Amino acid sequence: MEKWYLMPVVVLIGLTVRWTVSLNSYSGAGKPPMFGDYEAQRHWQEITFNLPVRQWYFNTSDNNLQYWGLDYPPLTAYHSLLCAYVAEFINPDWIALHTSRGYESQAHKLFMRATVFIADVLIYIPAVILYCCCLKETSTKRKITNVLCILLYPGLILIDYGHFQYNSVSLGFALWGVLGVSCDWDLLGSLAFCLAVNYKQMELYHSLPFFCFLLGKCFKKGLKGKGFVLLIKLACTVVASFLLCWLPFFAEREQTLQVLRRLFPVDRGLFEDKVANIWCSFNVFLKIKDILPRHSQVIISFCFTFLSLLPACIKLTLQPSPKGFRFTLVSCALSFFLFSFQVHEKSILLVSLPVCLVLNEIPFISTWFLLVSTFSMLPLLLKDELLMPSVVTVMAFFIACATSFSIFEKISEEELRLQSFSVSVRKYLPCFTFLPRIIQHLFLISVVAIVLLTLMTVTLDPPGELPDLFSVLVCFVSCLHFLFFLVYFNIVIMWDRRNGRNQKKI
Amino acid sequence: MAALGFATGGGSWFSALALGVTLLKCLLIPTYHSTDFEVHRNWLAITHSLPVSQWYYEATSEWTLDYPPFFAWFEYVLSHVAKYFDQEMLNIHNLNYCSSRTLLFQRFSVIFTDALFVYAVHECCKCIDGKKSSKELTEKPKFILSVLLLWNFGLLIVDRISFPVQWLFIWLMLLSIARLFQKRHLEGAFLFAVLLHFKHIYLYVAPAYGVYLLRSYCFTANKPDGSVRWNSFSFVRVISLGLIAFLVSALSLGPFLASNQLPQVFSRLFPFKRGLCHAYWAPNFWALYNALDKVLSIIGLQLKLLDPEKIPKVSMTSGLVQQFQHTVLPSVTPLATFIGTLIAILPSIFCLWFKPQGPRGFLRCLILCALSSFMFGWHVHEKAILLAVLPMSLLSVGKAGDASIFLILTTTGHYSLFPLLFTAPELPVKILLMLLFTIYSISSLKTLFRKEKPLFNWMETFYLLGLGPLEVCCEFIFPFTSWKLKYPFIPLLLTSVYCAVGITYAWFKLYISVLTDPLVLKTKK
């Protein structure tokens, strides 16, 4: 019990790394006319502070939606408003209407970074600590190292504190949701998750597992008795929290529709920039984006997404368990990332969060995934001049995971949760014993590929006719990885319960 | 795979710790750097572009070369690497030159010399006797010691803003201490001699080395009651020690002696033209003395005992290094500080001679020498406290009493370094790192000595907790008050006086524990 003093130490390490990364450059620093996400967040403060709520999502003479128009749900807007009040108190120039466009200064950077830091400290970090403390069947030391590894995950740090976004808020709420639902505080959990969805619509990637898990719980309790009551309660919580968040926009029908149009911009195409999903990788061979009409793109992507996540979701509904829930979160988010419409490269963070949650159970694969996920954002990070902090934080994360979980010793079938799968394959193919070795070799190849590609991207100039060669390669390689992980996680989910039954029989 | 697993796997926590701190330093690259950066650049330029004979005459920049020759040679070597980064920084007349590549070079030169420091820490950890071996890794003295040394807050931030060479000095000192612990006396003496010619501030701890080597190395045996057996004197050992000292000095100062430049070198090395205290008072005895003087002069003015006309209108903490006149108390001369230091050092030296207690006793004496010189020295820089803090880490994992002194000394000493990093973006960094180190050191040592009496009494706890409100007042509340313009130096003054109390207390407590420690008679093998 006396080891608990290491907890503040570990958290402080996480905080220090966060703040030191924030001393680096941000997206669009000194790049007029559009700047980057940093300016977007500042602009939203300006808009929400100076304009009435009715105009926030509408194109008016004061609110040019072409210039970083608000395209996140209301909670983000309220957060911007809150920050704007603080900004107004410190220096009104930062959020003056029109004149503050592209405002940059050292003091302002410090202010913006501090807002991210405070949001992180208030929402995400307590959730991580509490989550790890609630882990079952783990020693104190293991819990603490788990906190360290999750807090050091480089992707989130680099995007929030380098690139500049508030992902830790939505991810933090989602984590509170996971925590609540797994600890049987279903109402609080669903409330937290509704807040997450209302902060960033991308949180919908996680919504299906939440829905299936809660529905499964209701089924388990019997739909005619307690289960039905729970279902009604949950529905009321969700509706109430949505109502509360959207209250100002329900005044007129046009308002609500406009917000929805802003949130789901169907006309922005199948994908943007370079993202490590199927569509962008497939685009190398066949330009689907230009061949197919827009609405069939939507339909195709929807079908693929739906089919890929269906098995895991059905499984979860029928056999709800906190563990299965976590794995389903991973596979669903990954399906969305790989197949859905209009995916952003930063959306991989939505997959990384649930992977962080299973870090304790399958350290080897999780570490591997988290490294690849950071690598998949390399083009973005390079554009923001974050090479140095990226390399350093990735190495720190890798060392932390490797020393605390000794991942290289945990590659047996059992540690990889592939035992029952192998057993069932061996019924047909008796010599099927090489799976762990293959995975081990794949890991080595993947690390070499990642390092080589990073070095090439950093040092070499791409040939003139293919200016995006390296970023496309990065996306393609990461996409292959993600497909492999999708298959792996689905196998783990589908063969999970069978393993449990076998053990019970024995 | 296996190799990778071995490099990062379970047993090698030490390399994980070392790599961790190196990575942290890489992250700190974009942080603030002080004028020391320019000093260092200028020295690189001097040694690179001028012949040896002019190194100590060159005075284009105000930051003349004031370190001993070995250090100048070190800069010379570095400059040959530097030219591949940016040729421009090696131009003497390029004052205040700073490009991103120059910055990168300087930062990386720190990070690479780090490897040496890590080696020294590794050696030090080996010579700690693991009598309290606990099964748990985090409760092993070796683990705690390596964290205390590698992740030392003071070194981390001093290095960020200051020369990339603190590590080098500390490396030499720790390694020489480790060698003495391992009974490799000649090596230890050699390393210390080299260290002296890298940075002469270590002259302060030279008495400890001298007496210890003479008493425990040159005299090979003791009488049964522990006093020296005069006939056991070994001439061979003395001569070999002397030879080492002589050869190292000859190598270092010889070229300057040959060209008759020695007086010039010494005038650069020992500048007594600077004031008693640095711009920001180091938290030592003189800070208390100055503060008392200020208080007395204010009281005097209030009671009309002093004539306002006669009071010199120079504020000591206004930011310039300058001569200072005390108003009420007598002014302090360099000679007085020298005598003060000497008197403060003497008892510990006597103790080392009459109550030899092996390497551990030597280490205590060395710390006392370093601390005494910090307390009473002339123009002491606040970062000199690290000279005492780092060796003290070695003692802290051995005995509960030492641990409690160490914690008071370290916490106050580190807090007193806060004003060195005064820019807003670095404020969270220093607070977070300070909290990190303090929480770790206090709780790990508490766990280590949990079976003994508590480490702090109520007064010490109260004092240490007081640092928190002090920081809040100085950096969060004071800048918003109207006093900021009128009395800008108040936060510095408060910090330095508050810390001076703690450091004086730690010094006192350590002295008492050394003087009253019963003589342990070693049974001769």
Three-state secondary structure string covering A175-199: HHHHHHHHCCCHHHHHHHHHHHHHH
Are A403 and B4 a contacting pair at CB < 8 A?
no
- Chain A residues 347-406 with CB within 8 Å of chain B: 388-389, 392-393, 395-396, 398-400, 402-403, 406
Please say whether the beta carbons of B413 and B385 come within 8 A.
Answer: yes
Whether B226 is covered by a domain: the verdict is: no
- Among the partner-chain residues A5, A19, A388, the one whose CB lies closest to the CB of B26 is A388
Q: Which of B19, B27, B425 sits opposite A399 (nearest CB)?
A: B19
Which of B137, B162, B187 delimits the end of a domain?
B162
Q: What is the pLDDT of residues B222-242, one digit of tens each?
A: 777 667 777 777 788 888 888
Q: B9 and A406: CB-CB below 8 Å?
A: yes
A104 burial class (0-12, 13-18, 19+ CB within 10 angstroms)?
middle
Question: Which residue in chain B has the smallest CA separation from A392?
Answer: B23
In a domain, B265, yes or no: no
**The pLDDT value given to residue B39:** 81
Q: Which domain, by its residues, includes B320?
A: 285-331+380-516
Contacts of A116 in chain B (CB under 8 A): none
Contact with chain A for residue B424, Cβ under 8 A: yes
Which among A395, A408, A409 has CB closest to B23?
A395
Q: Is B457 on the interface with A (CB under 8 A)?
A: no
Touching check for A310 and chain B: CB below 8 Å? no
The closest of A16, A21, A350, A7 to A148, measured between CA atoms, is A7
Specify the pLDDT at position A284.
81
- Smallest Cβ distance to A396: which of B5, B8, B23? B23
Predicted pLDDT at B1 = 35
Inform me whether the pLDDT recorded for B7 exceeds 70: no
Does the pLDDT value for residue A155 go beyond 90? yes
Asked if A408 and B8 come within 8 Å (Cβ–Cβ), the reply is yes
Residue whose entry in the numeric block shows the structure tokens 């900021």: B484
Report CB contact under 8 Å: A5, B425: no
Query: Of A12, A392, A393, which is closest to B432 when you measure between CB atoms?
Result: A12
**End residue of a domain, out of B144, B162, B180:** B162
The verdict on B24 touching A (C-beta cutoff 8 Å) is: yes
Return the closest-CA partner of residue B36 out of B81, B67, B59.
Answer: B67
A388:B29 CB<8 A: yes
At B451 the pLDDT is: 84
Residue B123 phi/psi, 5° resolution?
Answer: -65, -40
Res B525: pLDDT: 35
DSSP letter for each residue of B260-287 = T-HHHHHHHHS-TTS-SB-SSPPSSHHH
Which residues on A lie below 8 Å from B446 (Cβ)? 5
Measured between alpha carbons, how far is A328 from A182 in angstroms, rounded to an integer? 13
Q: Sorting pLDDT into bands at 50, 70 and 90, what band is A207?
A: very high
Contact A393 B27 (CB under 8 A): yes
| pLDDT at residue B490, as a whole number | 82
Whether A88 shows a pLDDT value over 90: the answer reads yes
A23–B contact, CB cutoff 8 A: yes
Q: Do B27 and A403 touch (CB under 8 A)?
A: no
- Inter-chain residue contact A5 with B436, CB threshold 8 Å: no
Best of A1, A7, A10, A23 to substitute, by most chain B Cβ atoms within 10 angstroms, is A23
CA distance B300 to A259: 72
Q: What pLDDT shows up at residue A501?
A: 45
Chain B residue closest in CA terms to A390:
B27
Contacts of B136 in chain A (CB under 8 A): 3
Lowest mean pLDDT among A76-85, B51-60, B470-479: B51-60
| pLDDT tens-digit series, residues A161-200 | 999 999 999 999 999 999 999 998 999 999 999 999 999 9
Look at residue A180 in the predicted model and tell me its pLDDT: 94
pLDDT-based confidence at residue B265 (cuts at 50, 70, 90): confident
Beta-carbon count within 10 A of B244 CB: 18
Each residue's pLDDT tens digit, A137-150: 888 888 999 999 99
Could you tell me the pLDDT band of residue B132, with boundaries at 50, 70 and 90? low
> How far does the CA of residue A451 sit from the closest CA of chain B (Å)?
15
Per-residue pLDDT for B19 more than 70? yes
Q: Does B234 touch chain A (CB under 8 A)?
A: no
The predicted pLDDT at position B318 comes to 46
Q: How far apart are CA A42 and CA A108, in angstroms?
A: 10
Those of residues 440-479 in A touching chain B at CB distance below 8 A are: 440, 444
- Tell if the CB–CB gap between A12 and B19 is shorter than 8 Å: no
CA-CA distance, A395 to B20, in Å (whole number)? Answer: 9
- In this prediction, residues B119-132 reach a mean pLDDT of 77
B138: nearest CB among A6, A16, A24: A6
Residue B266 belongs to a domain = no
Q: Do B447 and A15 touch (CB under 8 A)?
A: no
Report helix angle B400-415 to B427-448, nearest 10: 170
The residues that bridge with B233 in the sheet, in sequence order, are: B219
Residue A317 pLDDT grade (very low, low, confident, very high; cuts 50, 70, 90): very high
Tell me which of B55 and B463 has the higher pLDDT: B463
Q: Which residues of B touch A392 (CB under 8 A)?
A: 23, 26-27
Of A3, A16, A444, which has the smallest distance from its Cβ to B432's Cβ?
Answer: A16
Say if residue B158 is in the same domain as residue B289: no
Mean pLDDT over A2-9 rounds to: 85
Rounded to an integer, the average pLDDT of A107-115 is 94
Inform me whether the pLDDT recorded for B131 exceeds 80: no
The pLDDT score that the predictor gives to residue B225 is 67
Which one is predicted more confidently, A94 or A2?
Answer: A94
Specify the amino acid at residue A27: S
* Closest residue on chain B to A14 (Cα): B432
% of chain A residues with pLDDT over 70: 98
B296 and B433, same domain (yes or no): yes
Residue for token pair 């802003």 = A262
What are A399-417's pLDDT values in tens digits? 999 888 877 777 777 778 8
Question: Which 8-state DSSP code applies to residue A440?
Answer: H
Helix, strand, coil abundance in chain A, percent, nearest 5? 75, 0, 25
Q: Is the minimum CB–CB distance between B26 and chain A shorter than 8 Å?
A: yes
- For chain A, give the mean pLDDT: 89
Average pLDDT along chain B? 81
* In-domain check, residue B246: no
- Specify if B309 maps to a domain: yes
Burial of B348 (0-12, 13-18, 19+ CB in 10 A): buried
Q: Do B9 and A141 touch (CB under 8 A)?
A: no
Q: Name the residue in chain B with its Cα closest to that of A24.
A: B30
pLDDT (tens digit per residue) in B419-439: 888 888 889 999 999 999 999
pLDDT band for position B275 (cuts 50, 70, 90): low
Residue A215's alpha-carbon distances to A192, A207, B180, in angstroms, are 17, 12, 70
CA distances from A393 to A152, A162, A163, A352, B94 (A): 7, 12, 14, 16, 35
A111 CB near a chain B CB, below 8 Å?
A: no
B20–A395 C-beta distance less than 8 A: no
pLDDT at B277: 67
Q: Would you say A33 and A43 are in contact if contact means Cβ atoms under 8 Å apart?
A: no
Q: What's the rounded mean pLDDT across residues A456-465?
A: 86
Which tens digit of pLDDT belongs to each residue from A9-33?
999 999 999 999 999 999 888 888 8
Is B200 within the bounds of a domain?
Answer: no
Confidence of residue B279 (pLDDT cuts 50, 70, 90): low
Check if A105 contacts B (Cβ < 8 Å): no
Give how many domains chain B has, as a whole number. Answer: 2
Residue B238 lies in a domain: no
CA B237 – CA B471 distance, rounded (Å): 52
pLDDT at B270 over 80: no
Q: How far apart are CA A493 and CA A209, in angstroms?
A: 13
**What's the pLDDT at B162?**
63
Size of interface A-B (CB pairs under 8 A): 94
Q: What confidence score (pLDDT) does residue B309 get?
A: 64
Phi, then psi, of A69 in degrees rounded to 5: -65, 150
- pLDDT value at position B215? 81
- pLDDT for the residue numbered A502: 45
Distance CA A92, CA B95 (A): 39
Whether residues B425 and A20 touch (CB distance < 8 A) is answered with no
- Tens of pLDDT, residues A340-392: 888 888 999 999 999 999 998 899 999 999 999 999 999 999 999 899 999 99
Q: Do A395 and B1 touch (CB under 8 A)?
A: no
Coil/strand/helix, residue B317:
coil
Q: Does residue B297 lie in a domain region?
A: yes
The answer to whether residue B23 neighbours chain A at the CB level (below 8 Å) is yes
